[in-house]
Amino acid sequence: MGLLLDVIEGKEVPYTPTWLMRQAGRYMPEYRAVRSQHSFLDMCYKAEVACEVTMQPIDILDVDAAILFSDILPPLIPMGLDLEYIPGTGPVINNPIRCEKDLERLNFSPDLKFFQYIQDAVSMIRGKLPKEKDLIGFAGAPFTMASYAIEGGGSKSYEHIKTLMYREPKTFHKLMQLITDVTKTYLKMQLDAGAQMVQIFDSWGGVLSREDYLKNAHPYSCEIISWLKKQASKPVIHFVKGAGSWFDAASNSEADVCGVDWTLDLDLAFKACNNSKVLQGNLDPIALFAPQEVIEQKLKLILDQAKGGKGHIFNLGHGIIPKTPVENVKFVVDKVRELSAR
Amino acid sequence: MGLLLDVIEGKEVPYTPTWLMRQAGRYMPEYRAVRSQHSFLDMCYKAEVACEVTMQPIDILDVDAAILFSDILPPLIPMGLDLEYIPGTGPVINNPIRCEKDLERLNFSPDLKFFQYIQDAVSMIRGKLPKEKDLIGFAGAPFTMASYAIEGGGSKSYEHIKTLMYREPKTFHKLMQLITDVTKTYLKMQLDAGAQMVQIFDSWGGVLSREDYLKNAHPYSCEIISWLKKQASKPVIHFVKGAGSWFDAASNSEADVCGVDWTLDLDLAFKACNNSKVLQGNLDPIALFAPQEVIEQKLKLILDQAKGGKGHIFNLGHGIIPKTPVENVKFVVDKVRELSAR
């Protein structure tokens, strides 16, 4: 049992624990060495490779928790979506869902044996990881998953998903419900295989108005969270990037922890959720490019804003980007520990 | 004198006036017809062409105000930046500023005669525009302008501007001050040539934390706004897209009107600025793809949230995108007028 669980259970901790979104990633030479040997999907599918890169930030940075190495998108594959990672472009869905007729190409009874790889990876990682380090499983939130399934990749304006949502709410709902159902099982498998908690990433929910988020995204995320809380008594972290002025709405769920990005100060976030949640965040990942004295000042501000709150897990407000200096990432992990020591 | 000025001066208006960001744009066949005859920069530089497309949404949609047709980036050219519009990619700066040495290529005493074109365009448009329609001039906010000058184009992570801001604050400041000084004159010229008001667009300020926005973006925008308010007693609209949870900070300026995007409800925005500003916004531009009954419901919500506020100018929360159905844009203009009739 690690420090994240302690914070979530309201226990005293010696310092604010840290993990970092995309802590296993291209900014690390050790990661790039493994990556050069495998395709991205193979890295997800091969338990020993996923395990190796998951362990790298534990060994190199001594972060307080490991997050399963994987990507949010592979669960779309058994649903019938043709996912491809194109170097330089990113993930592409070659058969995006744009209208009711496109639903015919979806598999509404996906073969869940597809997810054997994630169970194997989680149980191998849990076997290797020191007991005092929590293992975090994860999945994309339905809105974010659907945005890839509908847009066919990344997007600037999210015009296709919003258009479908407005014009064909039934089609949108069918896709969202399929993703929701599959995600429940996918996350439950990770918890059963030994993950201490799971995080639901809503990377793109923040492109919605409060009204549209509450109507079209939140209910599906909440359905997963509530189901998991019934099925497994393990914590759930819910992160909606860009929730900003409607964080009060986004945090209104059975999640134990809410992620916060750097555009919302932690003290305001605690206030917005009536101090009902442990909060996770919220350094701008680009602040990792700053001189260490600037980083330190930012860490002090974040730790200060978290004081008086229900509980705090230190993290970034989004994933580490490729050119980030490793020494600054290590500096953050060490400095948070030092500055927050009780 | 048009309805926008009336709202800003606190006068009774027969209905909530409307203009729409990028109301002259590619979604309109009449615009595309003109565009096919000229390069994008030529459209900005030739007063008669800029005038023609500026008038299109007045004639076709009967919006309550015209906004000068131009782009935010040409003012970077006399500063020494090599701006190019690449079809399919967007604006590119071929000699971006990434370090102190790069400042040598900037022209710190730009020839302001360069801006003759904008004076010509504004005075020609003002001559053609009916008196009851206000003409809005505009410029990019220094942070947004600098993001192009430093990133060299659009960006996902804004890593170069943030890195410069953190690592070389003096270099960052010199660039921001140059943009600030040029923008003052550029906007004053538009007001002198006959624009009734100007809008300062901070399209990318919202990628900053509250702390970074207040330190690195807001002071420069405020300097322009305060200077303009002293030099010309005409209204200033300040729009920071994504201000979200720190709209209270962004709206703390001498601006008369603050723009609000769709991720922040207008009632909360009025509250955040203590009802000290007229607000402008805030329909999601992608909602223009929705069926008209969905659009109508959204307009009702927005008009309802604006009730009790100091004043409201209807707009979108960002620019109209190319595939937007013209009939829905027209529907919005008409329906806001109908729903808000006093």
Closest to B211 (Cβ–Cβ): which among A206, A301, A321? A301
Kind and range of the H or E element at B280? Answer: strand B278-283
**For residue B85, how far is the Cα from the chain centroid?**
19
Mean pLDDT, rounded, for B275-303:
98
State the residue for tokens 């949230």. Answer: B305
Is pLDDT above 90 for A303? yes
Split at pLDDT 50, 70, 90, the class of B88 is confident
> In this predicted structure, what is the pLDDT of residue A88?
86
Q: For residues A248-265, b (16+ Cβ closer than 10 Å) or e, as one string?
A: ebbbbbebbbbbbbbbbb
Q: Please name the member of B208, B263, B287 whose beta carbon is closest to the beta carbon of A245.
A: B263
Q: pLDDT exceeding 70 applies to what percent of chain A?
A: 100
Strands A90-93 and A83-86, by their bridges, are: antiparallel
> B1 pLDDT exceeds 90?
no
Q: How far is CA B320 from CA A113, A180, B135, B284, in A?
A: 45, 32, 19, 9
Closest approach of chain A CAs to the CA of B111, in angstroms? 35
How high does pLDDT run on average in chain A? 97
Q: What is the CB-side half-sphere exposure of residue A285 using CA atoms within 13 A?
A: 23
Of B208, B244, B285, the CB nearest to A244: B244
Assign a CATH topology to domain B3-339.
Answer: TIM Barrel (3.20.20)
pLDDT of residue A340: 98
**Local confidence band at B127 (pLDDT 50, 70, 90 cut-offs):** very high
User: What is d(CA A144, CA A138) in angstroms, rounded to the nearest whole number?
Assistant: 13
Query: Percent of chain A at pLDDT above 90?
Result: 99
Which of B22, B155, B159 is most worth mutating to test chain A (most A CB atoms within 10 A of its CB)?
Answer: B159
Q: How far is CA A90 from the centre of its chain?
A: 18
Nearest-Cα distance to chain B for A303, in Å, is 14
Helix (H) or strand (E) holding B278: strand B278-283
All structural domains of chain B with their residue ranges: 3-339
Task: For chain A, state the CA radius of gyration.
Answer: 19
Of the residues B147, B286, B332, the best mutation for testing chain A's interface (the one with the most A CB atoms within 10 Å of its CB) is B286
Residues of B designated as active site? 22, 26, 35, 71, 148
Query: What's the whole-model pTM score?
Result: 0.98
Three-state DSSP state, A252: coil
CB contact under 8 A, A286 and B159: yes
Report the C-alpha gap between A269 and A258 in whole angstroms: 9
Residues A6-34: pLDDT tens digits?
A: 999 999 999 999 999 999 999 999 999 99
Q: At what angle do helices B169-192 and B218-231 cross, to 10 degrees?
A: 30
Tell me, rounded to whole angstroms, the distance of Cα B259 from its chain centroid.
Answer: 9
What b/e readout covers B301-339, taking b as 16+ CB neighbours within 10 angstroms?
bbbebbeebbbbbbbbbbbbbeebebebbebbbebbbeb
Side chain identity at residue B310, one-letter code: K
User: Which of B98, B151, B207, B209 is the best substitution to test chain A (most A C-beta atoms within 10 A)?
Assistant: B209
Give the pLDDT band (50/70/90) at residue A53: very high
pLDDT value at residue A244: 97
**Closest Cα in chain B, distance from residue A242 (Å):** 9
Segment B242-276, tens digit of pLDDT: 999 999 999 999 999 999 999 999 999 999 999 99
**In terms of CA atoms, which chain A residue is nearest residue B318?**
A157
- The pLDDT assigned to A174 comes to 98
Residue A1 has pLDDT above 90, yes or no: no
ipTM of the complex: 0.97
